[in-house]
Structure 1
Amino acid sequence: MPGKYFPKWRTILKWVFVLVVIGLAAEAGRLLHLRINARTNAQAVRGRGPIPYTVTVREIIHAPDGTTRVSREITEAVRSDGSIVYRNSTSKGSGRGLYFSSGLHLSTDEIHNTKTTMMNANPDPASSLRDPTSKCLNSLAGKPFTSPPETLLGEETIAGYRTVKITRDIITEWHALDYGCALVKDRWDFSSTEFTEKELVALVGGEPDATLFDVPANYREVPPSESIWGPKKERRFCNEDTEKFLQMMDEDYKRRAVKPQ
């Protein structure tokens, strides 16, 4: 009698084996699909490039006695290759900080026609730009833009632009979501009666004016100490700690200075 049922058991076992194989194949397919999706998503993140724009804001200082004054105007311009320029303009002068995606970094003094040029051996422009898809909390490199991370307070419309409002410590910022997270407003609260704020002057999408990234050929190369504090023989009110700090900056400059070709 046992032999009578053996073919049936063999058939059952065969179908069990087939079902197991089908199940394993389905699971393998699912895992492969997940891996492909993960790889595709990672490539999509890496593939997100900088959004070019130019934004200018005006900084206003609110003193404890209730008075206000305009401190400076700041222009930030971002190119699609990740290069960034910051230009500060005050009543006493102006200067720029240029950070090229190649790693080249220049600081200029537009009053004295000087420049300080250094090279970053490991440029990482993605870490210097915010990612709009993360509500501007992360960099394009996929990590929090600040440490500790900022807190999202919501979305607001500022001067007609869709922005996210984020905060950390005493700083609150508004970044334009449709313009590469351009900073269009901020506020620094030093006390209940003393704070600074930046208000939007202009925001333009697209590649910035090329002249913002140009440095005139007649600009004289100087070390950071002279760029910040002026020639040593002309320095006043420079204490010992400041001198040590300037010396440290100059030593770093010597290591990273761009050598003449």
Structure 2
Amino acid sequence: MGASQSSKAHQQTVKATLKAIDQDYKDKVREAEKKCNAMRKEADKVAERERAESKARKDKADKDAKDEYQLVKHAAAEVHIQLVMDIVKNVILDIKSRQMDQSHGHSILLNRSNSTSSAGSSSSTSKDTLSSLTKEDAEVKEWVEHAAERLEVHMSKTQARQRLLEEIASGALIRQHQAQQDALRKTEELERQLHQLRLQQQQGFRGVATGQDVPPPAYINAVGPAGVDNSDYSVYTNKK
């Protein structure tokens, strides 16, 4: 009896010990799992924080690059605009300078035409040509001033500003320069005609002085009026 009871007590003790060991193992496993979960969460937080910081650095770098690009682009556009404005202003100054020169030339030409009574029709043509030149210069000046005003008004509007720059770059200033050249050629032609007219008048005066049959200055080296023969010009010579 005593041995049997002692054996049962021993078995119960062993079972209790095994149960305690098993419980302790389970407790330690659960504790380890909790720690692992906590460490995993902390690692995830660190990784998320690093990703956020990396993204923030990347976004900042991208923003800085874009801002720098916009600054450079804006500065380049302003330089381009300033160059165009300088060109337009120089064109306006050139037109004003030419108008002053032409104004001086006009007074000389008008004095010549007033002192030449036999050149009435040619003087009228000269005045018409001068009027045409003045009108052309005024139209060119109006276009350039309009372009300058548009450039200033739309300077802050990228799209309109770009369109205007493209218009100017596409040949508007070239066309204006060609108009200036045409006006200059017409002025030179007018001066040549007036010079020729003065020579004709001088030749006519010399012919009258020497008693030669000389047609009126207006018809020298030119076709006479319809129905009038060149021989009829003798009526203009001195009668003996």
TM-score (norm 1): 0.29
More strand by proportion, 1 or 2? 1
More helix by proportion, 1 or 2? 2
